[in-house]
Chain A
Amino acid sequence: MTGDKEIIESIRRGEIDKFSTIVEKYTTGVYRFISLKIYNKDDVDDLVQESFINFYKAIEKFDTKRPVLPYLLEIAKNEMKMYFRSHKKALPLNENMVTEKDDIETFDMNILKHLTAEESRLLRDFSEGFSLAEIGRKYRVPVNTVKSKVRRARIKLKKIYDDKKS
């Protein structure tokens, strides 16, 4: 059975049909990874496709000593970040907080001003799909600290919104 390293070297020699082996091997894994954070099936399909296409484009530079799946998942994660940014995902708070789509953006912008820079940063990363563990690693802070800060920021936001509403 040919390993990934040999397959990638064949692809680099122009045997593009070998890329289908990579696709068949890893599509399910990448699909599952993306569908954990994104619920729209069509968007998940698009992101999976983009992830493989970007991997193909970067295949000349790929270090064959590394395993393929983590690299693919890294690409998938970047695709998801761009997806969340382009969709301007509203903070995953109480559904009753907004009634119309147009309200979402002004709601976020105005209310985020009341938070500290740290709280805004944490909530923004959280709403973009980063896990608490990833946020903790990014800012070098224990996961439980991230958890309690995110929770406090959300409570603060809810209070501000409830005050505005009343």
Chain B
Amino acid sequence: MTTKNLEKKIIKKVFKLEAKNTFFEMASKVIGLLLLVFFVWIFATTILDILKEQGSFDLFFFFRDNVEVMRRYFLENVVTFYDETPKLLLFILFSLFAGLLLLVLTIVKNYGKISNKIKSLYNFYKKNE
């Protein structure tokens, strides 16, 4: 095999490797994003349903009363509301949300790199088809 042929073979293998890696990276990020959004939505709606059933939101209807009543009972109502929240579910929701935020930040940070990779792969396969 001449050196030129060997070089072409190396470049082809590298592009094939990178195509596979980029595909799996994008697929895993999309699946991760969808799963996290789904579970955040599930937990958020579940917590809201529990709070509605308990009538916990009634604690904030005092906003309809005058400012003096609101000021006097605000802290106490907030503490009571917090006591009534399903803490474990809330913790899971915040963890999932933090994970979702982290994933979104990672995607935004690597957007340029992935975009360049896709462009390079497209140009390579277009040139070699």
Contacts and interface: CB of A to CB of B under 8 A. Distances in A.
A45 B13 CA distance: 13
Main secondary structure on chain B at its contact with chain A?
Answer: helix
Nearest to A48: B6
A14 B14 contact: no
Main secondary structure on chain A at its contact with chain B?
Answer: helix
B112 A16 contact: no
B10 A23 contact: yes
Given A23-B11, A27-B6, A52-B10, A15 B1 contact: no
B113 A31 contact: no
A148 interface: no
A26 to B, nearest CB: 10
Contacts of A27: 3, 6-7, 10
B71 interface: no
A153 B120 CA distance: 55
A28 B87 CA distance: 65
Interface string A1-41: 00000000000111111011001100110010000000001
Contacts of A12: 113
Interface residues of A, number: 21
A16 B120 contact: yes
Interface residues of B, number: 22
Given A19-B14, A20-B11, A52-B14, A14 B6 contact: no
A56 interface: yes
B66 interface: no
Contacts of A45: 1, 6, 9
Contact of B117 (A14, A48, A56): A14
B104 to A, nearest CB: 19
B74 interface: no
Contact of A31 (B3, B11, B114): B3
Contact of A49 (B9, B121, B124): B9
A13 B18 contact: no
Nearest to B17: A53
Contacts of A48: 6, 10
5 contacts: A15-B120, A16-B15, A41-B1, A48-B6, A49-B9
Given A14-B120, A16-B117, 8 more contacts: A13-B113, A16-B116, A16-B120, A20-B7, A31-B6, A48-B6, A49-B9, A56-B17
